[in-house]
């Protein structure tokens, strides 16, 4: 049994921390809203702490899954940050989707304290977190990754080290870039079927078995056809992620014309009041143009 801390109990972090506990690890959680941390502790064998530093004391591994760059800095740095409570030789594992720049900044800050840092953003959505079937793409030192991988396997379907610090975040950007284009294409296909008077379910039954098939098609077409979007990964978070992708593309010289266009389409969805809708709500924008 390994002593772990988990910082951030959103729709992803809450079940992920539960999988750690179910795997036999001793888990202490922290959440900005303390009532949620208390609720998690009440339903599990682990405890909760009032600050990241307190949660991290004595932990061999500290996992975080928070909102953005600033949220991550706030749980890592300062007198009450996790780094202040972690022991030399312990490992910080960040599951947040953030910029590679803040990842490298915190990797360096951790190294000064003798702490290892692994950037390990996740993909698979709320269902993946709940089912312990996430894809985890990692960056950081090999020895730190090798130590952390068996712990992360409590909620992973696949876990891979891609390269040095920041490589995990760069890989997550590839993931989001690919998803943006896929969801827009699926939205257009279903919208076209509707306008052509076709049975959307019959269409998907056929085309999903060929080259057009994808996870998005298999898992989102029915709710898209039913105009139901109160689930899944929110548009607001997708725009945050795509903003990171586009900013990084400017730094690296990569060309992302489709990503830039879909980002603006998501902005239109936000204007429709859909900031908390699932990312598949791009089809709502097309319907609104009718």
CA Rg value for the chain: 20
Please, which contacts does 173-178 make with residues 24 or more away whose CB atoms are closer than 8 Å? 173/241, 173/244, 173/245, 173/248, 175/123, 175/135, 175/137, 176/97, 176/238, 176/241, 176/242, 176/245, 177/242, 177/245, 177/256, 177/259
Provide the CA 253 distance to its chain's centre, in angstroms: 25
- How far is C-alpha 138 from the geometric centre of its chain's CA atoms? 12
Q: CA-CA distance, 17 to 191, in Å (whole number)?
A: 39
Q: What are phi and psi for residue 88, nearest 5 degrees? A: -60, 135
Run of H or E including 280: none
Catalytic-role residue among 45, 172, 240, 284: 172
196 secondary structure, DSSP code:
T
Question: What three-state secondary structure class fits 205?
Answer: helix
d(CA 127, CA 137): 18
Contact 221, 190 (CB under 8 A): yes
Q: How far is CA 197 from CA 190, 203, 208, in A?
A: 11, 11, 19
Q: What is the 3-state secondary structure (H, E, C) of 95-131?
A: CCCCCHHHHHHHHHHHHHCCCEEEECCEECHHHHHHH
Is 195 designated active site? no
Catalytic residues: 172
């Amino acid at each position: 049994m390994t002593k772990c801390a988990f910082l951030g109990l959103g729709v992803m972090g809450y079940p992920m921390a539960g999988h750690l506990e179910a795997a036999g690890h001793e888990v202490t959680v922290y959440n900005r809203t303390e009532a949620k941390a208390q609720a998690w502790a009440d339903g599990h064998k682990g405890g909760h702490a009032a600050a990241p530093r307190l949660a991290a004391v004595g932990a061999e591994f500290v996992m975080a899954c928070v909102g953005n760059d600033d949220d991550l800095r706030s749980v890592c740095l300062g007198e009450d940050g996790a780094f202040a409570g972690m022991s030399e030789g312990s490992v910080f594992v960040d599951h947040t989707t953030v910029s590679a720049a803040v990842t490298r900044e915190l990797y360096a800050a951790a190294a000064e304290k003798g702490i290892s840092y692994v950037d390990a953003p996740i993909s698979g959505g709320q269902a993946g977190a709940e089912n312990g079937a996430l894809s985890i793409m990692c960056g950081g030192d090999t020895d730190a990754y090798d130590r952390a991988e068996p712990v992360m396997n409590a909620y992973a379907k696949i876990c891979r080290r891609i390269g040095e610090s920041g490589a995990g975040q760069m890989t997550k950007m590839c993931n989001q870039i690919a998803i943006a284009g896929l969801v827009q294409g699926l939205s257009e296909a279903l919208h076209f079927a509707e306008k052509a008077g076709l049975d959307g379910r019959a269409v998907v039954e056929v085309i999903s078995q060929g080259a057009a098939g994808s996870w998005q098609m298999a898992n989102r077409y029915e709710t898209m056809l039913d105009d139901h979007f109160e689930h899944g990964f929110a548009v607001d978070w997708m725009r945050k992620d795509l903003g990171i992708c586009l900013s990084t593309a400017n730094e690296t010289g990569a060309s992302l014309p489709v990503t830039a266009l879909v980002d603006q389409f998501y902005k239109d969805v936000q204007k429709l009041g859909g900031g908390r809708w699932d990312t598949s709500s791009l089809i709502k924008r097309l319907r609104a143009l009718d």
